[in-house]
Amino acid sequence: MILSLIVFIPLVFLVVILFVPPDKIRLFRTVGIVSSGLQLVFAIDALLHFRTGPGAPSGINKESAFQLLEKTGWIHLSLGHAGSLNIDYILGLDGISIPLVIMSALVIFIAAISSLSIRKKIKGYYILFLLLSSSVMGCFMALDLFLFYIFFEFMLLPMYFLIGIWGGPRSEYAAIKFFLYTLLGSILVFVVMIGLYLSTFDPVQTGMKAGLIVSEQQATPAAVQAVRDSVDAGKIRESEIMRTFNMVTMMDPGNFIPGSILGFHQAKKILGLSPRLLAFLLLFLGFAIKLPSVPLHTWLPDAHVEAPTPISVILAGILLKTGGYGMIRIAYGIFPDGGIHFSCLVGVMGVISILYGAYNALAMKDLKKMIAYSSVSHMGFVMLGLASFTIEGINGAVFMMVSHGILSAMLFLIAGFIYDRTQDRMIENYSGLAGKIPQFTAVVVVAFFASLGLPGLSGFIGEFFVFLGSFQSHVVNQLIPRWIPVIATAGILLGASYFLWTLQRMFFGKYWLREQAWEPSMSDLDLREKLMFLPLIAACIAIGIMPSLVTHLTENSVVTMVNDLYRTGLNNLHLISGL
């Protein structure tokens, strides 16, 4: 129940405020904060119910590995000769999703506070904000591919309008660019989704339909295996095969229908590649647009520069993570063979993102654009960690996403702080702010140092794990050669330089502003801003000092993922190339 609550609370509030006249501004603002506050409370409650450590459910490829599972049938379509299709409503959490859910709930709450500064078309803004906060949460919890896709795609439209209407001068261009890029990504996922559900079947349901299994309780592994065998032998008629969108079912290679397009005994090649590898590539590209990875990143700086502050916060803090999460859960989870086969590609794209993002950040004159490119650079680490397919690497990738969620929220709030006061974000227009607004400067120092990877703050741990994993990969599984992480280390250096250089130019030296008119508005943090920054700083320091806060949540799942999935992947790869 609790997971559904997290997803649907905003929708309930949304229905309520639809009928409120648009001049009740205070009410809308309260609703925004209450709704996201409740989401945060329930997310923490979910965290408290989440069992960890030895003995707790572990892994990502069995339904029993998920906690707080909610499962009900949703759509059952009988398609005549093509069998039937099952879409379930399944929400669940495992070690990979829970830290992201908590982080998202926190970021949404902060964004709701930040939204108090929105001045026009308040009602419309909150309607879209609530829609967005519902769908991002659903995205991290959905275990049914169809459900995931709906949440994933449903973020686009609210985001499009939020950027386009409440954004800056070139917001319309940025909004449509965002929409098209991410829709292209979703469409790649969509194509694979169709292929997947046509290729997998639910052995339990199929067994029940064919009369091999009496009830769900009696679905022992042996009985399930018997069903698979009879499907393999072609004993079950096509019309009795129950197809499914369940991601967890798709992760088991035994559930692929023999001879189907993404199945294993398939000699067909599309564009010279096995369909499975192609499917991985499509999924990877689809999510890489969202992540974003160079060269698919160009929507991000535009969208960020034009979006209003709270929306930038959600965009960088949460939306980008749905890309990374999708890679882990779907691309790697269902096609580990592709992950192994293309590990070099993923790693190289990661490194290019790290370096290219950092180089661009160095050159940016607009503070917000600088931060946007730093996001591109940081998300490169996520790909590098994933490519290594080691426990450290994947832990690092998840940690990086959580840490970047917190840090990018802070960074965009910092840009918003300055923009609120002067309507100008050019780095060169400010100097020596430290003397004038010391509290704010302290916040900036924490955020910048955490982002550039100072030990003791959250950014360091993520990068450290990622490098550990990617250097080790050479020894453990030979997936990525050593030169890839070696080159990536340059990214740390670049990261340090653009952050420190910006800090020096804007905050140190003699106090100076380009326009005299800005002088009176240069005040330090007010209460609302303190309320926004404090929890984020606390979270950043806490997981920086005690990374185990995150890793003890993730470790069970990551260990199973690396051990089981890696073996499955090698096995699958062998089956594919054996033909």
Nearer to other proteins, 164 or 416 (CB): 164
Whether 100 and 405 have beta carbons less than 8 Å apart is answered as yes
CB of 89 to other proteins, least distance (A): 11
Torsion of CA 70, 74, 78, 83, to 10 degrees: -30
CB of 416 to other proteins, least distance (A): 22
Residue 449 structure tokens: 């140092």
Whether 321 and 405 have beta carbons less than 8 Å apart is answered as yes
CB of 229 to other proteins, least distance (A): 22
Sign, Cα dihedral of 442, 445, 449, 450: positive
Residue 573 structure tokens: 């790869």
CB of 176 to other proteins, least distance (A): 8
Nearer to other proteins, 193 or 318 (CB): 193
Can you spell out the DSSP letters for 17-41? HHTS-TT-HHHHHHHHHHHHHHHHH
Q: Where on the chain is the footprint of other proteins (CB under 8 A)?
A: 75-82, 121, 124, 149-150, 153-154, 156-157, 160-161, 164-165, 171-172, 175-176, 179-180, 183-184, 187, 190-191, 194-195, 197-199, 260-261, 268, 270
Nearer to other proteins, 156 or 358 (CB): 156
CB of 146 to other proteins, least distance (A): 8
Nearer to other proteins, 53 or 80 (CB): 80
Nearer to other proteins, 161 or 342 (CB): 161
Report the C-alpha gap between 434 and 548 in whole angstroms: 34
Report the C-alpha gap between 144 and 260 in whole angstroms: 20
Alpha helices in 251-390, H assignment, sequence order? 275-290, 299-306, 309-314, 320-326, 333-334, 336-341, 343-363, 367-388
Nearer to other proteins, 306 or 392 (CB): 306
Which among 558, 362, 375, 561 is positioned nearest to 459, based on CA atoms? 375
Can you spell out the DSSP letters for 63-115? GGG-EEEEEEEEEEEE-GGG-EEEEEEEEEE-TTHHHHHHHHHHHHHHHHHHG
Nearer to other proteins, 198 or 226 (CB): 198
CB of 255 to other proteins, least distance (A): 16
CB of 116 to other proteins, least distance (A): 22
CB of 278 to other proteins, least distance (A): 11
Nearer to other proteins, 175 or 307 (CB): 175
Report the C-alpha gap between 307 and 178 in whole angstroms: 11
Report the C-alpha gap between 139 and 100 in whole angstroms: 10
Tokens 């905003």 -> residue: 10
CB of 487 to other proteins, least distance (A): 34
Nearer to other proteins, 286 or 385 (CB): 286
Residue 467 structure tokens: 């490098």
